[in-house]
């Protein structure tokens, strides 16, 4: 799914692009008002009541909600959420057209709670909630992460972290005398924290260490990372009550920002001092940090904010309103989309019908995830290290389908339990 906010000058073009939409959206659609929308729009809150306690949908099951609305209204419809109109399309052709005509400053509906808090507290918004020239300044500063040479500079340290993860799995097996690791997603988050800390702040966290020797900063970061994603989603999809008082979700945003910002600022300050003393050494070992330290358009508050967003994106990446979870489950684009068929991603696979915009996990164009190459490198290295030692099996005797819920990104709706069988025995 792709979303485009109702903006003067661009909406007429977008509606014309979608003029072929079916069912309730006829081929004569030419104005914004012609696009169908759910009945029962409420004053102030718009369609947010549909996702409230008495509504037909659950905010955490957004994919299912969009699927149901598209069945009722057609592949193109509009919603009013957080006081703004948005057009939704579940057609990959429309997604392609939109992305390819975004221009230099693509607009994304912002995260208003994050925007308000960051501007008030830190005086800097960063990439995620920003738009226009301010967004472009941050985007240009983070582009080194897309350069293969920069990403390759971290490969050896990513291999070391992956090796630590393998040792961590063995430690858990030894502690429990069982080859089963329950709720593996929690362990993978620890890996992600260590892996991204190699890049930002450049000082590795100890999340894979035993809890008795784990640094307190690391434990605080782990807790704050979870709170951040929950607070972000809660303030975005729910009723905008945080504008009236500090809701639970808004308080999570505040506390998580304070913790992460404080820890990263301290460690980035240490790296900045090292850079001033030995710029060539830091540039070789930490090319991304060297690039942002040496960027004349960034103030220190911007550097810390950019570092925080890179760090959080490395744990649980966010592109703002691109729900490929709908089109990636459509039989129009994939053969047997609900089956686990990893070979479908091979170029000549017969299980994919080949639409390049049906699944875009890292987005597309100027606002695509700048950490794509870094994330792919981390994943490939981790899989290689784990599979070199272990054969993986499901630990559930009667496996059932894994559903997904939203915490900004989609996460499993139940624990994933895996059995790690040692290949060397």
Q: Distances from the Cα of 366 to the Cαs of 68, 108, 363, 369, 393, in angstroms?
A: 30, 11, 9, 9, 39
Mean pLDDT in residue range 254-278: 92
- Domain assignment of residue 104, given as a range: 2-109
Instruction: Give me the pLDDT at residue 418, please.
Output: 93
Least confident of 42-46, 268-272, 348-352: 348-352
Mean pLDDT in residue range 94-111: 80
Mean pLDDT in residue range 265-269: 94
Q: Say yes or no: 264 and 155 in one domain.
A: yes
Q: Say yes or no: 178 and 201 in one domain.
A: yes
Among the candidates 89, 109, 129, a domain finishes at: 109
Between 236 and 203, where is the model more confident? 203
Euclidean distance between CA atoms 407 and 405, whole angstroms: 7
Between 8 and 279, where is the model more confident? 279
Mean pLDDT in residue range 3-26: 36
Euclidean distance between CA atoms 286 and 198, whole angstroms: 8
Least confident of 109-118, 142-151, 242-251, 348-357: 348-357
Mean pLDDT in residue range 57-79: 90
Between 214 and 271, where is the model more confident? 271
Q: Say yes or no: 149 and 284 in one domain.
A: yes
Q: Say yes or no: 169 and 275 in one domain.
A: yes
Instruction: Give me the pLDDT at residue 12, please.
Output: 31
Mean pLDDT in residue range 372-397: 93
Q: Say yes or no: 374 and 267 in one domain.
A: yes
* pLDDT tens-digit series, residues 108-140: 767 888 888 888 888 887 887 778 888 888 888
Q: How many domains does one find in the chain?
A: 2
Instruction: Give me the pLDDT at residue 354, please.
Output: 66
Euclidean distance between CA atoms 196 and 139, whole angstroms: 18
Least confident of 235-249, 289-303, 317-331: 317-331
Mean pLDDT over each residue of the chain, to the nearest integer: 83
Bridge partner residues of 76 (DSSP): 89
The candidate with the shortest Cα–Cα distance to 267, out of 195, 198, 201, 206, is: 201
The candidate with the shortest Cα–Cα distance to 64, out of 246, 326, 293, 367, is: 326
Between 328 and 1, where is the model more confident? 328
344 in any annotated domain: no
pLDDT over 70 at 403, yes or no? yes
Q: Say yes or no: 47 and 165 in one domain.
A: no
Between 314 and 49, where is the model more confident? 49
* pLDDT tens-digit series, residues 283-306: 999 999 999 999 999 999 999 999
334 in any annotated domain: no
Instruction: Give me the pLDDT at residue 258, please.
Output: 93
Q: Are 260 and 201 in contact (CB under 8 A)?
A: no
C-alpha dihedral, 61 to 355 to 81 to 60, nearest 10°? 10
| DSSP code of residue 213 | G
Q: Say yes or no: 85 and 221 in one domain.
A: no
Among the candidates 109, 125, 149, a domain finishes at: 109
Q: Say yes or no: 18 and 119 in one domain.
A: no
Q: Say yes or no: 140 and 89 in one domain.
A: no
3-state secondary structure of 228: helix
Q: Are 70 and 107 in contact (CB under 8 A)?
A: no
Q: Say yes or no: 248 and 263 in one domain.
A: yes
Between 233 and 315, where is the model more confident? 233
Number of H helices, E strands in the chain: 15, 8
18 in any annotated domain: yes
Least confident of 208-212, 221-225, 247-251: 208-212
Mean pLDDT in residue range 202-229: 85
Q: Residue 255 — very low, low, confident or very high, per pLDDT cuts 50/70/90?
A: very high
Q: What is the CATH number of the domain that holds 308?
A: 1.10.630.10
Q: Phi first, then psi: what are they for 39, rounded to 5°?
A: -75, 160
Q: Residue 238 — very low, low, confident or very high, per pLDDT cuts 50/70/90?
A: low
3-state secondary structure 243-259: HCCCCHHHHHHHHHHHH
Task: Using a pLDDT cut of 90, give the percent of the chain over it.
Answer: 35
Among the candidates 63, 83, 109, a domain finishes at: 109
350 in any annotated domain: no
The candidate with the shortest Cα–Cα distance to 248, out of 261, 266, 265, 232, is: 232
Bridge partner residues of 53 (DSSP): none
The candidate with the shortest Cα–Cα distance to 324, out of 357, 346, 275, is: 357
Mean pLDDT in residue range 235-247: 83
Q: Say yes or no: 218 and 242 in one domain.
A: yes
Euclidean distance between CA atoms 188 and 44, whole angstroms: 40
Instruction: Give me the pLDDT at residue 297, please.
Output: 92
Between 66 and 313, where is the model more confident? 66
The candidate with the shortest Cα–Cα distance to 318, out of 247, 201, 225, is: 225
Q: Count other Cβ atoms within 10 Å, centred on residue 259.
A: 18
Instruction: Give me the pLDDT at residue 368, please.
Output: 83
Q: Where are the beta strands (DSSP E) in 250-293?
A: none
Contacting residues for 267 by C-beta, under 8 A, at least 6 apart:
201, 202, 203
353 in any annotated domain: no
Instruction: Give me the pLDDT at residue 45, please.
Output: 80
Between 209 and 262, where is the model more confident? 262
Rg (CA), the chain: 22
Q: Residue 313 — very low, low, confident or very high, per pLDDT cuts 50/70/90?
A: confident
Tokens of 292: 């942002």
352 in any annotated domain: no
Length of the chain: 425
The reported pTM is: 0.81
333 in any annotated domain: no
pLDDT over 80 at 6, yes or no? no
Q: Are 314 and 199 in contact (CB under 8 A)?
A: yes
Q: Are 353 and 335 in contact (CB under 8 A)?
A: yes
Sign of the CA dihedral 340, 341, 346, 351? negative
335 in any annotated domain: no
Q: Residue 379 — very low, low, confident or very high, per pLDDT cuts 50/70/90?
A: very high
Q: Are 383 and 389 in contact (CB under 8 A)?
A: no
Q: Residue 378 — very low, low, confident or very high, per pLDDT cuts 50/70/90?
A: very high
Q: Say yes or no: 169 and 105 in one domain.
A: no
pLDDT over 70 at 349, yes or no? no
Sign of the CA dihedral 387, 388, 389, 391? positive
């Amino acid at each position: 799914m792709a979303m485009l906010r109702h903006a003067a000058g661009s909406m007429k073009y977008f509606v014309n692009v979608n003029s072929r939409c079916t069912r309730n959206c006829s081929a004569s659609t030419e104005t914004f008002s012609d696009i169908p929308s759910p009945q029962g729009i409420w004053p102030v809150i718009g369609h947010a009541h549909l996702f409230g306690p008495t509504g037909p949908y659950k905010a955490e099951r957004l994919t299912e909600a969009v699927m149901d609305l598209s069945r009722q209204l057609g592949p193109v419809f509009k919603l009013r959420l957080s006081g703004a109109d948005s057009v939704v399309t579940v057609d990959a052709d429309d997604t392609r057209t939109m992305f390819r005509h975004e221009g230099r400053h693509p607009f994304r509906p912002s995260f208003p709670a994050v925007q308000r808090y960051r501007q008030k507290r830190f005086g800097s918004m960063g990439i995620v909630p920003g738009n226009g020239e301010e967004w472009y300044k941050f985007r240009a500063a983070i582009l080194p992460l897309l350069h293969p040479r920069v990403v390759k500079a971290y490969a050896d340290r990513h291999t070391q972290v992956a090796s630590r993860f393998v040792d961590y799995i063995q430690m858990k097996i030894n502690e429990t005398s069982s080859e089963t690791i329950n709720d593996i997603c929690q362990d993978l988050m620890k890996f992600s924290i260590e892996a991204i800390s190699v890049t930002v702040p450049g000082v590795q966290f100890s999340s894979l260490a035993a809890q008795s020797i784990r640094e307190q900063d690391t434990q605080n970061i782990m807790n704050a990372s979870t709170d951040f994603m929950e607070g972000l989603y809660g303030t975005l999809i729910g009723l905008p009550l945080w504008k009236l008082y500090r809701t639970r979700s808004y308080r999570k945003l505040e506390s998580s920002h304070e913790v992460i910002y404080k820890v990263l600022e301290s460690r980035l300050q240490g790296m900045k001092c090292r850079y001033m003393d030995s710029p060539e050494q830091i540039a070789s070992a930490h090319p991304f940090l060297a690039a942002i330290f040496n960027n004349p358009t960034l103030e220190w508050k911007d550097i810390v904010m950019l570092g925080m967003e890179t760090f959080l994106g490395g744990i649980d990446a966010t592109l703002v309103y691109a729900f490929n979870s709908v089109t990636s489950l459509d039989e129009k684009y994939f053969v047997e989309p609900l089956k686990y068929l990893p070979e479908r991603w091979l170029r000549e696979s017969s299980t994919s019908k080949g639409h390049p915009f049906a699944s875009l996990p890292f987005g597309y164009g100027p606002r695509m995830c700048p950490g794509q190459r870094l994330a792919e490198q981390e994943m490939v290295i981790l899989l290689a290290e784990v599979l070199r030692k272990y054969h993986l099996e499901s630990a559930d005797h009667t496996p059932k389908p894994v559903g997904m819920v939203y915490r900004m990104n989609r996460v499993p709706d139940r624990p994933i339990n895996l059995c790690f069988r040692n290949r060397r025995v």
